[in-house]
Structure 1
Amino acid sequence: MKSKRIFFVLAILIIAFFHGCVKKAVFPDEMIGTWKRADSKYERTFLELTQEKIIFGTLEGEVNAHTIKKIKKEKVPGTEEILCTVTYVNIEGKKFKFPFYFNPENGGSVRFQNQPEVVWIKEKN
């Protein structure tokens, strides 16, 4: 009887330990919000970052929301930029990686790794 209690307590402690080790993917507060391109040609496009979702608004007016699984952040040497790689899953459960640069200077800006010349600015609330 005593050994069952010890086993039960150990099992609870192990579960609690591993549950505490799982880190939730988190963006810094200054990255949370809706990001838009400055040029009016793309006024319907947007990128929205929340703590749970990455949401893309397309030129066609579609909105695609995806569940974030992991966020990897790396400081870019010699700059203030952070390379963020977001791992997310689509509605079918397929995993994707979306890398982008975040620059906190002057209110912040975002540049997609595959389109570094295009700057996205955070929408004011």
Structure 2
Amino acid sequence: MRDRIRAAATTAAPTPSGIRAPQTGRRAIATGWVRGRPGPSYPAQVLNALADQLTPTAAEPVTVEVWTDALHTAGRTVLATVPRIVCTATLDHVIATLPAPRISQGETCGEWALRLRTAARSI
């Protein structure tokens, strides 16, 4: 007997281009699947936008205020046109994969931006 969770995670038949699209609609939207070719997922786009927000202040140390403001701006920028449920799923994924800034070690915004871009590539 197959359980519903594993059955929902299965993928559909291959498309003509050979790419397998996820079967569930919410998961397809949250991971950023586009017809034909997958692009960067929404969580990866948010992490890259967050790194872009931190780049102008690369030499300054990361503070809680700096990274929360940058995260809010990045989330609003990337997720402005998607449904609320997709925003929630995307931000949950971002928070789960977000490398924590090393505030106590004096990490700069530029150093954290590099770690964010590395995390975005792995999503």
Band the TM-score falls in, shorter-chain normalisation = under 0.3
Q: TM-score, normalised by structure 1?
A: 0.24
The structure with the larger Rg is: 1
- TM-score, normalised via structure 2 length: 0.24
Identify the structure with the greater helix proportion: 2
Between Structure 1 and Structure 2, which shows a larger proportion of strand residues? 1
Which fold has the larger relative contact order, with Cα–Cα distance below 8 Å and residues 6 or more apart in sequence? Answer: 2
